[in-house]
Amino acid sequence: MIKLLFKNLKAKNWISVLVIFGLTVLQVFFMMQIVGYISKLTGAVQASRENGVTQVWSYGFYMIICAILMAAVEVIIRFMASATAATIITNLRQKMYDRVNEFAIADFASFSTESLITRTTNDMQNVHLALLTFLKTAFVAPVTMVWAIVLLVNYATGSLTVVMAIWLGILVAAVTILLILIFPKFKVVQKLTDAINVASRENLTGVRVVRAFNAERYQEEKFDKVNTEFTKVQIFASRVISIFSPIVMLVMMGLTLSILWVGAYALNGLQMDIAVQSFGSVNAFVMLASQIIMSVVLLITLIVIWPRADVSARRINEVITHEVSVLDPASPKSFTEKGTIEFRNVGFAYPGSDKEAVSGIDFKVKQGETIAFIGATGSGKTTIINMIPRMADCTTGEVLVDGVNVKEVTQKDLRDRIGYAPQRGFLFMGNIKDNIAFSNPDLTLADVRWAAEIADADSFVSKKRNGYDSEVAQGGTNFSGGQKQRLCIARALASKPEILIFDDSFSALDYRTDKNVRANIAQKLPDATRVIIAQRVGTIMDADQIVVLDNGKMVGKGKHYDLVRNCPVYQEIALSQLSKEELGL
């Protein structure tokens, strides 16, 4: 955790930390002044019988002033510590979010969605709490301890020192045992937090499937198992930590009683004047010893919090330091063509796999042409088109867009030329206009409506009470599958890109709407190169090139008319959907 914090401390954070340290020294100074005046006050009580109460009032007044100043300094320290901790965590959270945004598909394989959410929320909170506690106690505890030990030399005797050492040893030994017991549990707690998030997210996102199969009881038992295990670990850790306060109180009371007993034994038989003065020293010793014990308690409190925060910090650091697989080149090149895509013997293997998911992919598309991919589920269609906008990088061969290898241009320049409609229509919470204008928030309503008309979405949007200002729920759950797909197609069209990628984006549309949308795109964006993945032969029959895939390999390439006669795989797919007469066989 220390390593993570040091890496992310900025100059203003260091200044705040130094100021907090300086204020802490000032706070401890006022605290020790009070202890010194208490010792003097005991002697002044005896003297007041002869000289009046002037000296008592004087010492009391100074103690009140010191207490007020000490409280004021502590308030400032707490304000600064809270602001500094919040600033550091805000920067850390932003850094983590930015890194996740840079992840390619291969990088997401290293972290589950649920784990990333836990690391951004729960783990970040653990680090925040530890950092806040650190800024409040990490300085005051050692400064107080050192200062108290220096002053203690004036009042200590051999017997009093032994008493304090014994009780301090008991406290340290007890806390060490507690830490040994709970430290492994903190690692388990964070893993179980991930598991709870997985179970919750699965149940929420798959609620329709759960209810359709009457599997509520099964899901409840599945969640209950994880939740019960999490609860057991939490209860164990809480019970161990709950022993901490009684042990501290026992040590404090035991130390005070032991010092007073030893002091009383030593004062027995002394003259009254000497005894009063000696009692003042014993009283001061009690207070200084208590300050030392409280300093140890503060450090132990930090130590108790630290193990869980350290586990969380390691998990956060794993994300921040993760080496992204897709990076921009040091010297990016300029594009030499427009609207062209070329694959040169391309292959791709997922991380950890010794076999390529796709291999030997070779084709070229010119500006304004349409290329389509078809094949069985898992044949590699989506894997291939993901390499065009560099969602993933090929492991062999070259992928060229507009005449340049995609690895030799910046990701921003590359993706500015591409409009992408995903396989699963995903909408962001907000309104319809903002979702369609997602690539360029400056688009006018006319531009948004133009894109929606091409995607055949304007018909249902215009019927809504607020039109394009109508609300979109998270994930677009207040729209049907076909409506979400049409809005996603409109989003891809809105920026008028050179290349349009449709990853099975017409699957939820009926044949008529499918045909109308494709005709509108061809008419309104004739120069745009179109890349289509489809399961329906009717969607891709008019494509300039059709690539047929089987188990990650190209088994056919050409126009529909040729493939339906010469490619057995394509012929089988086509005949399963259309009759021989419709196919012209």
Query: Is residue 340 pLDDT above 50, yes or no?
Result: yes
Burial grade of 6 (CB within 10 A; 0-12, 13-18, 19 or more): exposed
Sign of CA dihedral 302, 308, 311, 312: negative
At residue 217 the predicted structure's pLDDT band, cuts being 50, 70 and 90, is confident
* Lowest model confidence (mean pLDDT) among 168-172, 334-338, 514-518: 168-172
161-170, 322-331, 400-409 — most confident range: 400-409
Q: For the chain, what percent of residues have pLDDT higher than 90?
A: 24
At residue 153 the predicted structure's pLDDT band, cuts being 50, 70 and 90, is low
Distance in angstroms (rounded) separating the CA atoms of residues 450 and 166: 82
The span from the first CA to the last CA of the chain, in angstroms, equals: 69
Higher pLDDT, 169 or 334: 334
Q: Tell me if 487 sits within 8 A of 475, measured CB to CB.
A: no
Higher pLDDT, 378 or 385: 385
Average pLDDT of the segment spanning 336-346: 92
Query: Is residue 270 pLDDT above 50, yes or no?
Result: no
The full 3-state SS of 147-175, as one line of letters, equals HHHHHHCCCCCHHHHHHHHHHHHHHHHHH
Residue 501: phi and psi, rounded to 5, are -115, 125
122-136, 140-154, 508-522 — most confident range: 508-522
Q: For the chain, what percent of residues have pLDDT higher than 70?
A: 89
Looking at residue 275, what is its pLDDT? Answer: 40
Average pLDDT of the segment spanning 360-383: 91
The CA–CA distances, whole Å, from 448 to 192, 332, 421 equal: 45, 32, 16
- 418-420-422 Cα angle (round to 5): 160
- Residue 225: Cβ within 10 Å count: 12
Distance in angstroms (rounded) separating the CA atoms of residues 93 and 91: 5
Higher pLDDT, 292 or 576: 576
Looking at residue 21, what is its pLDDT? Answer: 87
Q: pLDDT, tens digit, for every residue of 12-21? A: 778 888 888 8
Residue 345: phi and psi, rounded to 5, are 50, 55
Looking at residue 436, what is its pLDDT? Answer: 92
Q: What string of DSSP letters covers 408-454?
A: GS-HHHHHHTEEEE-SS----SEEHHHHHTTT-TT--HHHHHHHHHH
Higher pLDDT, 424 or 8: 424
Domain boundaries of the chain, sorted by first residue: 93-320
* Lowest model confidence (mean pLDDT) among 30-34, 80-84, 478-482: 30-34
Query: Is residue 393 pLDDT above 80, yes or no?
Result: yes
Average pLDDT of the segment spanning 535-557: 90
Average pLDDT of the segment spanning 28-49: 69
How many Cα atoms occupy the beta-carbon half-sphere of 403 within 13 Å? 7
Q: pLDDT, tens digit, for every residue of 297-325? A: 777 777 777 777 887 888 888 888 888 88
At residue 281 the predicted structure's pLDDT band, cuts being 50, 70 and 90, is low
Query: Is residue 330 pLDDT above 70, yes or no?
Result: yes
Average pLDDT of the segment spanning 228-255: 78
Query: Is residue 409 pLDDT above 50, yes or no?
Result: yes
Looking at residue 263, what is its pLDDT? Answer: 62
At residue 265 the predicted structure's pLDDT band, cuts being 50, 70 and 90, is low
Average pLDDT of the segment spanning 182-204: 75
At residue 284 the predicted structure's pLDDT band, cuts being 50, 70 and 90, is low
Query: Is residue 227 pLDDT above 90, yes or no?
Result: no
Q: Tell me if 356 sits within 8 A of 530, measured CB to CB.
A: no
Closest CA to 27 of 80, 74, 76, 62: 74
Q: What string of DSSP letters covers 98-161?
A: HHHHH--HHHHTTS-HHHHHHHHTHHHHHHHHHHHHHHHHTTHHHHHHHHHHHHHTTT--HHHH
Mean pLDDT of the chain: 82
Average pLDDT of the segment spanning 201-208: 74
Domain 93-320: give its CATH architecture. Answer: Up-down Bundle (1.20)
Query: Is residue 453 pLDDT above 90, yes or no?
Result: yes
Longest dimension (CA), the chain: 126
At residue 158 the predicted structure's pLDDT band, cuts being 50, 70 and 90, is low
Looking at residue 39, what is its pLDDT? Answer: 65
Average pLDDT of the segment spanning 434-456: 91
At residue 269 the predicted structure's pLDDT band, cuts being 50, 70 and 90, is very low
Higher pLDDT, 104 or 241: 104
Q: pLDDT, tens digit, for every residue of 397-408? A: 999 999 999 999
The CA–CA distances, whole Å, from 357 to 115, 264, 269, 339, 395 equal: 26, 84, 93, 27, 10
At residue 273 the predicted structure's pLDDT band, cuts being 50, 70 and 90, is very low
Average pLDDT of the segment spanning 488-510: 91
Query: Is residue 567 pLDDT above 80, yes or no?
Result: yes
Distance in angstroms (rounded) separating the CA atoms of residues 326 and 392: 7
At residue 172 the predicted structure's pLDDT band, cuts being 50, 70 and 90, is confident
How many Cα atoms occupy the beta-carbon half-sphere of 487 within 13 Å? 29
4-8, 69-73, 283-287, 424-428 — most confident range: 69-73
Closest CA to 231 of 181, 189, 180, 186: 189
Looking at residue 258, what is its pLDDT? Answer: 76
Query: Is residue 260 pLDDT above 90, yes or no?
Result: no
Average pLDDT of the segment spanning 67-78: 89
